Amino acid sequence: MADHLKTTLSDFFRQADLVLLSLCCTATVFGMVLITSATQYKGTYRYVIVQGAAMVIGIGLYIFLSMVDVELLVKKWKWIVGFNAAMILMLYPFGVSVDGNRAWLHFPGMPVNIGPAELIKITFTLLLAKQLEWLREEKRDLKSPLAALFAGGHLLVLCALYFGVSSDMGNALVFIFIFACMTFLAGFAIRWYLLAGAAGAAGVFALWKLDAIPSYMVDRFHAIADHSFEPLDAGWQQTRSLLALGSGQLFGQGLFHGTQTQSSYKSSLPARWTDFIFSVAGEELGFIGCLAVIILLCAIILRCLIVARRAQSTYASYVCVGMAAMLIFQTIENIGMCLFVMPVVGLTLPFFSYGGSSVVTLYAAMGIVSGIKMRSIPTRSRLR
């Protein structure tokens, strides 16, 4: 047993993507420093302790999943489909509402909540990659209406079920972006994206005319179009975020010295250790701190795409691109939200924002990418 473990760890350190792991750990530790500062006024270290524990568990999952061949795992696709449905449906009896979204599971006796969407982003990516590979091999025409309907139906059912239960628009948009990136890579015709976009716009317009869209969602988009709209209500969070970012200037006010970050007043920067952690970096570390955050996240995304480029199979390439797409959308949306150019939809900044389930699943996702790298042929590209 001891010899087997020693051999396994030796293989990991020789073949796994240690560059990717190092980038993830650096980003998480950086985030933990920001979380410590953002929660100092509360007089507790609970948040950073939970984040640290999640990081340790995440590293363990990274190592484990680096050893797992997901192409063998996804052969049990029916079980994965059942898992996705079960995780969503469990929001009915065990879901708790946060900011209007029933997107968190809380089981009796558990000290933390679990976001099922974090897990489903990974399993959805694995399933969609298998579906695209099958369509490419069996149908050989990914531009056909049948291929578009088959893959699009998968997305539509997932989003309808998830949004219908949770009302969580943010993570539903992540699923859509992952789908768009993976299917574009696979070779879907541009006309299907144009048709889907037109149908989506028509649907949103119809729902708006019927007053079927919750008023708080409408107000959040209104605030983006007009920053003077309800600055003490719909636009309040982002107004405070801009104030924090602007006050940091080039080098910031100093770690643990941010005016809003260290304030206990309710009128200060909201959700500063979760949704608006980027604003904390801007206020206390300035433009330089924000740039460091962006560089780290871009390096992680680029590493996923490099592994995708060198993957030994089409399926593995799709998976890596899906994982990169998840990070890209959440990064752009969260930073855009802090800059008041994107609506507030409750998406956290990967690796930096507080969230145990988010950190654990991000490391799991990157562990899958690392496993693909371990089984890759470095000199040969499988992307077409």
What is the pLDDT, as a whole number, of residue 351? 98
Structural domain includes residue 5: no
Q: How far apart are the first and last CA of the chain?
A: 43
For tokens 């993507």, what's the residue? 17
The whole-angstrom separation of Cα 64 and Cα 364 is 9
Structural domain includes residue 6: no
* Number of domains forming the structure of the chain: 1
Structural domain includes residue 380: no
Q: Buried (b) or exposed (e) across 114-149, using 16+ Cβ within 10 A? A: bbbbbbbbbbbbbbbbbbbbebbeeeeebeeeebbe
Structural domain includes residue 7: no
Query: pTM for the full model?
Result: 0.93
Structural domain includes residue 383: no
pLDDT digits (tens, 9 = 90+) for 13-26: 788 899 999 999 99
Residue 166 CB contacts under 8 Å (≥ 6 apart), including other chains:
88, 91, 95, 101, 102, 103, 117
Average pLDDT score over residue span 379-383: 42
pLDDT digits (tens, 9 = 90+) for 229-270: 888 888 889 999 999 999 999 999 999 999 999 999 888 999
What are the beta bridge partners of residue 98? 101
State yes or no: pLDDT of 3 exceeds 70. Answer: no
Structural domain includes residue 318: yes
Domain encompassing residue 165: 12-374
The whole-angstrom separation of Cα 175 and Cα 182 is 11
Average pLDDT score over residue span 97-125: 84
Structural domain includes residue 4: no
Structural domain includes residue 381: no
Helices (H), 76-214: 77-89, 91-94, 116-134, 145-166, 169-186, 190-209
